[in-house]
Amino acid sequence: MQIKINGKNIESLLDETILDVAIRNGIFIPHLCNDSDLSPEGNCRMCICEVNGKLISTCNTKVAPNMIVKTDTQKVMQLRKMNIELLLSRHKTNHNGRYNQLIELKEEHNIDTVRFSKKSRGIELNEQNYHRMDFKKKEKTHLDNEKKTNTKDDSSPSILRDNSKCILCGKCVNKCQITQDVNAICYTGRGVDLKVGTFFNQPLAQTDCVNCGQCVLVCPSGALREVDDIEKVKNAIQNPKKYVIAQTAPAIRASIGEEFGLPAGTLVTKKLVTALKKIGFDKVFDTDFGADLTIVAEASEFISRATNKGVVPMCTSCCPAWVKYIEQSYPQFIPNLSSCKSPHQMVGAIAKTYYAKKLHIDPKNIVVVSIMPCTAKKFECLRPEMNTYGFRDVDFVLTTRETARFMKSKRIDLVQMQETEYDNPLGESSGAGVIFGATGGVMEAAMRTAYEIVTGKGVSNLEFNQIRGLTGIKEGSIVMKGNEYNFAVAHGLANAKVLMDQIKTGKSKYHFIEAMACPGGCIGGGGQPMPTNNEIRQKRIDAIYREDRNLPLRKSHENPSIKKLYDEFLKLPNSKIAEKLLHTEYKKR
Q: Which residues bind other proteins (CB under 8 A)?
A: 40-45, 48, 55, 57, 60, 62, 78-79, 82-83, 86-87, 89-90, 115-117, 122-123, 125-135, 137, 139-140, 142-145, 167-168, 170, 177, 183-194, 198-200, 207-208
Find the helix or strand (DSSP H, E) in which 19 lies. helix 18-24
Nearer to other proteins, 113 or 418 (CB): 113
Calculate ∠ Cα 254-257-263, nearest 5°.
90
How far is residue 313 from each of residues 23, 71, 185, 196, 442, measured CA to CA in Å?
42, 53, 30, 37, 15
Nearer to other proteins, 156 or 255 (CB): 156
Tell me, letter by letter, the H, E, C secondary structure of 407-468: HHHCCCCHHHCCCCCCCCCCCCCCHHHHHHHCCCHHHHHHHHHHHHHHHCCCCCCCCCHHHC
Nearer to other proteins, 45 or 474 (CB): 45
Bridge-based pairing of strands 314-315 and 366-372 is unpaired
Q: To the nearest whole angstrom, how small is the minimum distance from the Cβ of residue 536 to other proteins?
A: 27
Catalytic residue numbers? 298, 301, 318, 338, 377, 380, 385, 522
Q: How far apart are CA 168 and CA 108, in angstroms?
A: 21
The one-letter code for the residue type at 85 is E
**565 and 425 Cβ atoms separated by less than 8 Å:** yes
Burial per residue of 142-175, b for 16 or more beta-carbon CB atoms within 10 angstroms, e otherwise: eeeebeeeebebeebbbbbbbbbbbbbbbbbbbb
Burial per residue of 410-429, b for 16 or more beta-carbon CB atoms within 10 angstroms, e otherwise: eebebeebeebebbebbbbb
**539 and 265 Cβ atoms separated by less than 8 Å:** yes
Q: How far apart are CA 184 and CA 557, in angstroms?
A: 40
Q: To the nearest whole angstrom, how small is the minimum distance from the Cβ of residue 500 to other proteins?
A: 14
Q: Which residues pair with 512 in a beta bridge?
A: 314, 487
Q: To the nearest whole angstrom, how small is the minimum distance from the Cβ of residue 484 to other proteins?
A: 34
Query: 10 Å Cβ neighbour count for 360?
Result: 6
Q: To the nearest whole angstrom, how small is the minimum distance from the Cβ of residue 183 to other proteins?
A: 4
Q: To the nearest whole angstrom, how small is the minimum distance from the Cβ of residue 497 to other proteins?
A: 12
Sign of the torsion formed by the C-alpha atoms of 434, 440, 446 and 451: negative
How far is residue 381 from each of residues 376, 396, 401, 453, 515, measured CA to CA in Å?
9, 7, 18, 31, 19
Q: How far apart are CA 470 and CA 272, in angstroms?
A: 26
387 φ/ψ angles, rounded to the nearest 5 degrees: -125, 140
Nearer to other proteins, 79 or 577 (CB): 79
Nearer to other proteins, 70 or 277 (CB): 70
Nearer to other proteins, 220 or 476 (CB): 220
Burial per residue of 461-484, b for 16 or more beta-carbon CB atoms within 10 angstroms, e otherwise: ebebeebbebeebbbbebebeeee
Q: Which residues pair with 55 in a beta bridge?
A: 50
**DSSP-assigned letter for residue 232:** H
Nearer to other proteins, 48 or 314 (CB): 48
For residue 170, the SS3 value is coil
Query: 10 Å Cβ neighbour count for 208?
Result: 17
Q: To the nearest whole angstrom, how small is the minimum distance from the Cβ of residue 127 to other proteins?
A: 6
Query: 10 Å Cβ neighbour count for 300?
Result: 18
- Mention every residue, 6+ apart, whose C-beta is less than 8 A from residue 193: 125, 141, 142, 143
Q: To the nearest whole angstrom, how small is the minimum distance from the Cβ of residue 144 to other proteins?
A: 7
Q: To the nearest whole angstrom, how small is the minimum distance from the Cβ of residue 60 to other proteins?
A: 5
Q: How far apart are CA 196 and CA 188, in angstroms?
A: 6
Q: To the nearest whole angstrom, how small is the minimum distance from the Cβ of residue 145 to other proteins?
A: 6
Q: To the nearest whole angstrom, how small is the minimum distance from the Cβ of residue 298 to other proteins?
A: 32
